[in-house]
Structure 1
Amino acid sequence: MTARRTVAEPTPTRVGYGTLLRTPGAWTFLVPAFAARLPYAMLSAGIVLLIQSAYGSYGTAGLVVAFAAATQALIGPQTGRLSDRYGQAAVLLPTVAVHAVSVGALLALALGHAPTWTLFVSAGVAGASVPQIGAMVRARWVTRLSDSPKTLNTAFAFESVTDEFTFAIGPVLATGIATLVSPSVSLITEAALTVIGGLAFAAQRGTAPAPHPSVPGAEQASALSSPGVRLLAGSFLGVGSVFGAMTVTVAAFARAEGQPGLNGVVYGIFAGGSMLAGVLYGMIAWRRSVRQRMLGSYTLLVLGCSTLWAMPNLTALAIAGLCCGLAIAPTLISGYTLVETLVSAGAKTEAFTWLTGAIGLGLAAGSIVAGLLVDSHGARAGFVVPVVGAGIGLVALVSLRRLLDTPAGPGRIAAQGGAKVQLAGASKG
């Protein structure tokens, strides 16, 4: 059996966000990254508004969005792997071009009332070509902070809060533009931000990780060949199902209560709880290992989700949603911290994109299943999905938690030079 390394925990030190943001070169990639990742949260809302406006069907719009999310979840890790091999700029330049063209094609097809199947093709390409900016930013933090694991933990917390913030304002921005101008302009804005932000981010080559080209004749190992990465991706499917089911079921519950206008408020409290927890997580000097923190926060997530179905009104649901949200960010931050320790420098971007893609795939599946349950059994039935999805993820994490240990000798998967290189690393965050 492979020996596991036991490392004495050092006395924790507090690392603030001020220290993080004073990292040399940080702002040069953070600003364009924010512009480039905002469209990630605008795309789904923009597609729904465009197709509903053109075809008058929320059902068709939902299916097209789910397909776009699925292609994004499946293709995203492949672009992440290419980024590790050839460099971020080499992948971003063609990716943003394809994305802009595919969004333009979707607009033309929808406005021209083309056959529905053509919408799936164009939206699928648009989803597959969404730049994986979040994963690329995390890979840059790893490069900049490789000698400071405590600061890296704060960086991952910062990124989680940024993700939550973009997902909070992205749909609002897309909806606002669609309402005030038109759904077409909403998607045009999304594509423009993707191109401008993506190109500006790609131009910051000085902070990008060095590429790890493959060695001719050697097999290139994927980050997914690590059992720990597969376990984390599976657990993130459960987290994604919570997002998807909450989006659909909260809306249905608010409508059933006769207050559909409060849907956004309740979901906003859920997302706000996650943002708050993410901010606090990055400010705490943790004594427990990152694996223990993930198991603890995931357990709290399942417990919180198990109460949703019993809430008698929207006020109670908002409080329960807040409790669920408080467990989301710590779970995600811990997962991203763990996956970074399980792969080498030549596979980190790909590993991050597998987790991000798993969330997107879980979101698509959760929204579809919750929608079917709501249609057939009422609004409360949709709250079964978060409990089951997150519950399965927790069972997998607890039963297979040893896969998250970082091997002291052979066992760490590297995707550089083509061969499976064995490296040591610490799993403490």
Structure 2
Amino acid sequence: MTARRTVENAPARVGYGALLRTPGAWTFLVPAFAARLPYAMLSLGIVLLVLDTHGSYGTAGTVAAVSAVAQAFVGPQTGRLADRFGQAAVLLPSVAVHAVSVAALIALALGHAPAWTLFLAAAPAGASVPQIGAMVRSRWVTKLAESSPSTLNTAFAFESVTDEFTFVIGPVLATAIATGISPSAGLIAEAALTVAGGLAFAAQRRTAPARHPHVPGAKRVSALSAPGVRLLAGAFLGVGSVFGAMQVSVTAFAEAAGQPGLSGTVYGVFAGGSMLAGALYGMIAWRRSAQQRMLASYALLVLGCCTLWAMPNLTALAVAGLVCGLAIAPTLITGYTLVETLVPAGAKTEAFTWLTGAIGLGLAAGSTAAGQLIDGFGPWAGFLVPMGGAGLGLIALVSLRRLLVAPSAPSRAVAQGNASMQLVGAAKS
């Protein structure tokens, strides 16, 4: 009897195959992949271009940081507008502004313009990056409204794996184009993919979530008003610092080793570890609460980052990056699953975008700090930034973990099939 009860109470598993057979899913997933791939190419493309034209890791990292900061602060506002007016209404002007801004940045860099002019072009280029990842997650929430809670959780895992896959392909593609053709060609490809993918995604209006227009006299819902959202955004800042510092530091390390063309491959191995972990993570029926899993995966991330600075060669760095990357996707999956429980329906796109924006802001801080340390002390010093950024994020999560509990009844994403398995604010991937 006990064994039978254990089987009955076990969390249900939903495979990726069943998820992808959801009617209409492929109509937005394919263009979404093309539109989100440039997100993994933009920062590295900027670093490679500015490094080639201005010869400074510090300048290259700072220009990339300006772009990421603009994306981090403007992105959530874009998400709020998408919740209010619809995704297509936001995407169409965004891709146009992005194409023009990237073109201006390329022209200024090739003309050896002063660094401050590069900042002026990088800011709108980052601010206009389409928030495809957040929009796709909102579409899954709408599409799976009548499905089991496990299906939505699997969808979040699938999206995180897709994000990581873009970070496997994106850096390799950007590096190959920049080194094989010209540094500017990498950014040209990034802008072309953004425009083509963004327009194709915007055209899929049937799967778009319903608009939530502001009602006169009603209090406006803000995702950032939830303390748990602010805590997760802070934790994702630490994850972003790992991304940003790794991009600059791996590039510098490969350059110092006389093999600059391998920088994208090494970074791709790092992202590949995350993708592998995410794929496995999404197939497990977890019994631990999402809060517990978040703390555990983030602690593993900190441990992995502590070894990067001591690696003696590119092979060792690739192995260390792979180990470090294994903790990335589980952290992101759990964070996105948790944040869905903390906000109402009219603020979900904005909430997802705050987490994505926090990654971008952390990427900006990480790339800037790493660039300055590399210029001053050498490539190894840049790897101190991931350790410090992730360490601060873990301290915040541990000390304020109570904020991750949903203030009211749990949403669909965390409701389990059996009452004995329910935990307020928990989610399973």
Structure 2: any 5+ residue segments left out of the alignment? Answer: 1-7, 412-422
Question: 1:57 offset after TM fit, Å?
Answer: 4.5
For 1:6, the equivalent position in structure 2 comes to: none
Question: 1:115 offset after TM fit, Å?
Answer: 4.0
Change (3 A) 1:40 1:249: closer
Question: 1:339 offset after TM fit, Å?
Answer: 0.5
Change (3 A) 1:369 1:13: same
Question: 1:180 offset after TM fit, Å?
Answer: 4.0
Amino acid at match of 2:132: I
Amino acid at match of 2:182: S
Q: How does 1:19-168 map to 2 (within 5 A)?
A: 19-146=18-145, 147-168=147-168
CA contact (8 A) 2:169 2:268 kept: no
For 2:420, the equivalent position in structure 1 comes to: none
Question: 1:313 offset after TM fit, Å?
Answer: 4.6
Change (3 A) 1:266 1:402: same
CA contact (8 A) 1:29 1:207 kept: yes
TM-score computed with the length of structure 1 as normaliser: 0.88
Amino acid at match of 1:306: C
For 2:320, the equivalent position in structure 1 comes to: 320
CA contact (8 A) 2:138 2:349 kept: yes
CA offset digits 1:23-74 (Å, max 9, x no partner): 1110000011111111212222333344344445544332211111110111
For 1:360, the equivalent position in structure 2 comes to: 360
Question: 1:139 offset after TM fit, Å?
Answer: 0.8
CA contact (8 A) 1:68 1:125 kept: yes
Change (3 A) 1:114 1:163: same
Change (3 A) 1:114 1:372: closer
Change (3 A) 1:205 1:65: same
For 2:414, the equivalent position in structure 1 comes to: none
Amino acid at match of 2:119: F
For 1:390, the equivalent position in structure 2 comes to: 390
Change (3 A) 1:336 1:217: same
Amino acid at match of 1:346: G
**d(CA) in 2 for partners of 1:318, 1:380:** 14
**d(CA) in 2 for partners of 1:57, 1:39:** 24
Q: How does 1:248-397 map to 2 (within 5 A)?
A: 248-254=248-254, 262-397=262-397
Question: 1:264 offset after TM fit, Å?
Answer: 4.0
Residue aligned with 1:98, SS: helix
Q: Identify which range, 308-317 or 334-343, moves more after superposition.
A: 308-317
CA contact (8 A) 1:341 1:425 kept: no
Question: 1:118 offset after TM fit, Å?
Answer: 2.4
Q: How does 1:221-260 map to 2 (within 5 A)?
A: 221-254=221-254
**d(CA) in 2 for partners of 1:233, 1:103:** 27
**d(CA) in 2 for partners of 1:252, 1:98:** 31
**d(CA) in 1 for partners of 2:112, 2:331:** 43
Structure 1: any 5+ residue segments left out of the alignment? Answer: 1-8, 413-423
Change (3 A) 1:115 1:244: closer
Change (3 A) 1:381 1:181: closer
**d(CA) in 1 for partners of 2:384, 2:340:** 32
Change (3 A) 1:380 1:46: closer
Change (3 A) 1:308 1:119: closer
**d(CA) in 1 for partners of 2:176, 2:213:** 44
CA offset digits 1:91-126 (Å, max 9, x no partner): 111111111222233233334444432221121111
**d(CA) in 1 for partners of 2:381, 2:106:** 35
**d(CA) in 1 for partners of 2:182, 2:256:** 29
CA contact (8 A) 1:238 1:392 kept: yes
CA contact (8 A) 1:406 1:426 kept: yes
Change (3 A) 1:84 1:258: same
Residue aligned with 1:207, SS: coil
CA contact (8 A) 2:239 2:359 kept: yes
Residue aligned with 1:30, SS: helix
1:427 aligns with 2:426: yes
Residue aligned with 2:395, SS: helix
- Percent of matched pairs sharing the same residue: 78
For 2:415, the equivalent position in structure 1 comes to: none
CA contact (8 A) 2:61 2:371 kept: no
**d(CA) in 2 for partners of 1:167, 1:63:** 21
Residue aligned with 2:215, SS: coil
Quote the RMSD (CA, aligned, Å).
Answer: 2.4
Question: 1:231 offset after TM fit, Å?
Answer: 0.2
The alignment of Structure 1 onto Structure 2 pairs a total of residues equal to 409
Amino acid at match of 2:25: A
Change (3 A) 1:294 1:310: same
